[in-house]
Amino acid sequence: KGGNFIDTANIYTKGHSEKIIGNYLQSRNIRRDSQVISTKFFVNLYPGDPNGGGSGRKSIMSAVENSLRRLQTDYIDLYWMHAFDQHTPIEETLSALSDLVTSGKIRYFAISDTPAWKIAQANTISHFRGWPGFIGLQLEYSLLERTVEGDLIPMAQDLGIGVVPWSPLKGGILSGKYTRKNRGQEKTGRSAGSEDLLGDREYDIIDALEDIAKSKNVSPASVALAWVISRPGVSSTLIGARTIKQLEQNLASLEVELSAGEIQRLDDLSKPVLNFPATFLTG
């Protein structure tokens, strides 16, 4: 379908995900520069080794070499810090990542699941030291998880950081599988316990997705993804289809055009409760 942005991580299936991608690209003789390959560092793949993870220089340098080997490429387009490291000074992380950009082993770097204040601090430090900064932010974002609109997304927009949501269907809850009619009957697979998150508010959102989807002859998943794609600051949306049907439903979201009224309906039903100072500033 023309997609060329591939997202993985060194921890996914303990490195095997990177191997699958590397083998595929090599076997298809795909021109490397036509693809945007991203992977991540931070999680420790070697239990008992204090240097096997984190965002310190030693760990980063080791992680990038191993990812390059598994991906069978000599550079990574976008290298993500997988999570907030409370034990490493951000200057050390930024210095190491800047050196990797200079050496050509990565083109850009980004960050995931980290407080807004730390990301803002990091990019301010980078600006004044002449280093490249974080250009992307991965975070959970969906109709059922909008608290990131309080600090993280406004921060990203102000600093020019692209937002790449993960779990835009909230672990499948917004896929259309769970409805008010089959309440309590459908059991979750990968996201065990998700049914416990379903209350009247969640079913109201699902009902609206079903109505809009029916009017457009698409799946509720397509509508839920289209809403995420339409959000200010969102650059790309991660999908994790397990079957071809799910993939087709996900891709169909690209053709869904939501009206202002439909967006407003979904916005009103999913309006988040934001922390201070959001409520103070907006009245």
CA 161 – CA 181 distance, rounded (Å): 41
Residue spans of alpha helices (H) in the chain: 16-27, 57-71, 90-103, 116-129, 152-159, 200-216, 220-229, 244-252, 260-269, 278-282
**Parallel/antiparallel/unpaired status of strands 5-7 and 36-41:** parallel
- Clarify whether 12 is annotated catalytic: yes
Q: Retrieve residue 239's tokens.
A: 């999908």
Specify the pairing of strand 162-166 against strand 5-7: unpaired
Q: How far is CA 42 from CA 56, 57, 77, 216, in A?
A: 9, 11, 17, 42
* Options 12, 24, 79, 203, the catalytic residue: 12
Three-class SS state of 108: strand
Which of the residues are catalytic? Answer: 12
